[in-house]
Amino acid sequence: MSRILLKEYLSPNVVQIEIEAPLIARKRKAGHFVIVKIGTEGERIPLTIAKADIDKGSITLIVQKVGVTSHKLASLNVGDEVTDVVGPLGNPTHIEKVGTVLCAGGGVGIAPLLPIVEALHDAGNKVISILAARNKDLLILENEIRSHSDEVIIMTDDGSYGTKGLVTVGMEEVFKNQKIDFCVTIGPAIMMKFTSLVSKKYNVPTMASLNAIMVDGTGMCGACRVSVGGKIKFVCVDGPEFNAFDVDFDELLMRLGGYKNEEEQHYREQLSK
């Protein structure tokens, strides 16, 4: 059981919650995630640890409401308990000083990007961050990203804030104007597919953090498998970060839709209660 200490909406659909998890806070590194389950009938879902506070013994999760479990989590209040939280899971991001790094985050993908931006910056890299959202209201964590970046570019689909256009447009601009040594991309699978095509065009090594569907998160079930370089990899124990050029994003996209009908039906049933 982990008690909720703070809760705040970052955008209409994205909620930030800080929960008690002293053991996980001590061990967490950038790139790690936890598995969360709510109630005895709950499902297990993976969420990145966006921040951790060792002194307070807490971790912060940033959740986008997409289906039953994320809604359940968002509906809990300060003082409520999250039934099960386990982690840290996955491999931490390999952080190294390489020079100039471009970090591209889309939607709620900005949450897992934050600790990586922070770590890359602390390691002495020049960090350029591109944050993309459909519109101004959906943009999250801008200030936090700014405080660890040398430069921040904002892209919105509708032009309500920053520059109008997709994240890839912003990336092209950067690649054209300066030498980038490494690129990190986190967001919806479809976004990562196209961002890695752009960085491939400019020959910049790129890492993507994959958001496969998971059950246990410990390597036991294989639900999270993806093809990377033609081989089966389990996102939870082999990832979640992979060389973006090797990832079969079309397969990932297809697998993400795997339980769509079942999830949607259950969502409607839960709503009608």
Partner 1 sequence: MATDNTSNQKELRDQEWRRELKKSVSAKDRTNIVRVKMPEVDPQERIKSNVEVNSGITAEMAVVEAKRCLDCPDPECIKGCPVGVDIPGFIKCIEAGEFLKAAAAIKKNNVFPSVCGRVCPQEIQCEARCIYTTKLKKEPVAIGYLERFAADYENHSGHISVPEITQRNHVKVAVIGSGPAGLAAAGDLVKYGYDVTVFEALHEFGGVLKYGIPEFRLPNQIIDLEINNLKRMGVTFVKNIIAGRTLTFDDLRQDGFRAFFVGSGAGLPNFMNIPGENFNGVLSSNEYLTRVNLMGAAKKDHDTPVFFGKRVAVIGGGNTAMDSVRTAKRLGAEKAMIIYRRSFTEMPARKEEIRHAQEEGIEFLNLHNPLEYYADEKGHVNRIKLQRMELSDPDASGRRKPVAIPGSEFIIEADLVIVAIGVSPNPLIPQSMPDLHVSKYGTIEVDSEKMESNVSGMFAGGDIVRGGATVILAMGDGRRAAKGIHEYLSRQ
Ligand X SMILES: Cc1cc2nc3c(=O)[nH]c(=O)nc-3n(C[C@H](O)[C@H](O)[C@H](O)COP(=O)(O)OP(=O)(O)OC[C@H]3O[C@@H](n4cnc5c(N)ncnc54)[C@H](O)[C@@H]3O)c2cc1C
Residues that bind ligand FES (CB under 6 A): 214-217, 219-224, 234, 236
Residue 231: CB minimum distance to ligand X, A:
19
Select from 4, 59, 68, 95 the one that contacts ligand X (CB under 6 A): 68
Within 10 angstroms of residue 57's Cβ, the number of other Cβ atoms is 16
Q: Bridge-partner residues for 130, per DSSP? A: 104, 153
CB closer to ligand FES, 63 vs 236: 236
Distance of CA 207 to the CA centre of its chain: 13
CB closer to ligand FES, 88 vs 217: 217
Residue 41: CB minimum distance to partner 1, A:
4
Question: Which residue's structure tokens are 């703070």?
Answer: 6
CB closer to ligand FES, 215 vs 253: 215
Q: H or E segment at 199?
A: helix 189-201
Q: How far apart are CA 150 and CA 162, in angstroms?
A: 17
Q: How far apart are CA 256 and CA 226, in angstroms?
A: 10
Binding site partner of 47, from ligand X, partner 1, ligand FES, none, Cβ cut-off 5-8 A by kind: ligand X
Cα radius of gyration rounded to whole Å, the chain: 18
Cis peptide before 205 (omega within 30 of 0): no
User: What three-state secondary structure class fits 59?
Assistant: strand
CB closer to partner 1, 160 vs 227: 227
Site residues (vs partner 1, CB under 8 A): 23-24, 27, 37, 41-44, 68-69, 72, 83-89, 215-216, 218-223, 225-227, 232, 234, 237, 251, 254-255, 257-259, 262-263, 266, 270
Select from 1, 257, 268, 270 the one that contacts ligand X (CB under 6 A): 257
